[in-house]
Homo-oligomer: A and B are copies of this chain.
Amino acid sequence: MMNFQENAVCKLFGIEYPIVQAGMIWCSGAKLAAAAANAGALGLIGAGSMYPDVLREHIVKCRSLTARPFGVNLPLLYPAIDQHIKIIIEEGVKIVFTSAGNPRTWTQKLKDVGITVVHVVSGTRFAEKAAAAGCDAVVAEGFEAGGHNGRDETTTFCLVPAVRAAVDIPVIAAGGIATGAAMAAALALGADGVQVGTRFAATVESSAHPAFKEKIVQTQEGDTFLSLKKLVPVRLIKNKFWEQVHEMELRGADAEELAQVLGRARAKRGMFEGDLDEGELEIGQIAALVSDIPSAQEVVRRMLDEFEHVLNKLARYRSNH
């Protein structure tokens, strides 16, 4: 049995284990967030792919499925952000993870009504800004993570200790974390907890299309690539759509041309509707280590078992243990 009573992330959210199920577009609705919460992790509803009324439905549903803490992940660049914020406050959500955008715009407004606010960052200077804006914690997300990514391409190994050294608030590591060994590594690097996306995207309770879940299981090392850097960098599975984008990028296509080919609703098409050829399939490098589709509870259980095993193994280096 592990002892997380003094862990800063557990204390901040009132959860059992310092594991956050990442809020992901098209994957993490009420069902996944509630399952993660019931397993002792922090569950997050991903608002980025939800219209305001859909977000409200998921919040209400999640509360009916769990009595434990859960939150909402909110990309600050979402067009209907005002409505999202209004609903989050009206529905009494207690925890909000914000990403993209400027943390100064909304953090204080959310904190004024008692909401715990965490901002996702890809760089140390953004972590410092988030802390200055009053955020309660930051997620430090490395280059290996799925979906949208930073321009500096700093990996989890390099980002986490730098962010740890720069801010006094809790640091949650993200990118490349699907196992208890990775959780131990992240904590060794100075993180207080971990955010796990890819591993939870391929669970029973994920709302991803079954074909996309199966695709995650099949994804091998080298099958994802950080692409569309002239728009917003995003890590994609190398499918037919990606090949078209990549070829364009190799010949120097500009942002306008890329935006045209990307079009709209590609992510929905791929991840929610299961079009594996023409859809945009966002996933992290660590998909290569994902080989089945268990329940969210089983993911948490495996992570904790392996975390304990790894700590016991490392303890052998301590001559006085």
Interface residues of A (CB under 8 A from B): 1-4, 6-7, 123-125, 142-144, 151-159, 161-162, 175-177, 179, 181-182, 184-190, 221-222, 225-226, 230, 250-253, 285-286, 288-289, 307-308, 310-312, 314-321
Whether the Cβ atoms of B152 and A176 lie closer than 8 Å is no
Given A3-B316, A142-B157, A221-B152, check contact A181 B176 (CB 8 Å): no
Whether the Cβ atoms of A315 and B317 lie closer than 8 Å is no
User: Which of B155, B314, B321 has a CB less than 8 Å from the CB of A176?
Assistant: B155
CB distance from A163 to the nearest CB of B (A): 9
| Cα-based distance from A293 to B5 in the complex (angstroms) | 40
Whether the Cβ atoms of B285 and A155 lie closer than 8 Å is yes
Say how many copies of this protein the assembly contains.
Answer: 2
User: Which of B151, B157, B251, B314 has a CB less than 8 Å from the CB of A311?
Assistant: B314
Which residue of chain B has the shortest Cβ distance to A164 in the bound complex? B181
Whether the Cβ atoms of A221 and B185 lie closer than 8 Å is no
Given A161-B179, A185-B185, A221-B158, check contact A321 B314 (CB 8 Å): no
Which residue of chain B has the shortest Cβ distance to A250 in the bound complex? B252
Whether the Cβ atoms of B154 and A182 lie closer than 8 Å is no
User: Which of B144, B154, B307, B318 has a CB less than 8 Å from the CB of A3?
Assistant: B318
User: Which of B7, B125, B188 has a CB less than 8 Å from the CB of A310?
Assistant: B188
Given A188-B188, A311-B314, check contact A155 B152 (CB 8 Å): no
Some 27 contacts from A to B, beta carbons below 8 A apart, are: A2-B319, A125-B221, A143-B143, A144-B155, A153-B225, A155-B157, A155-B175, A155-B176, A157-B175, A157-B176, A158-B221, A158-B285, A158-B289, A161-B182, A161-B289, A162-B221, A182-B189, A187-B314, A188-B188, A188-B314, A230-B250, A252-B253, A308-B318, A311-B317, A311-B318, A315-B315, A321-B321
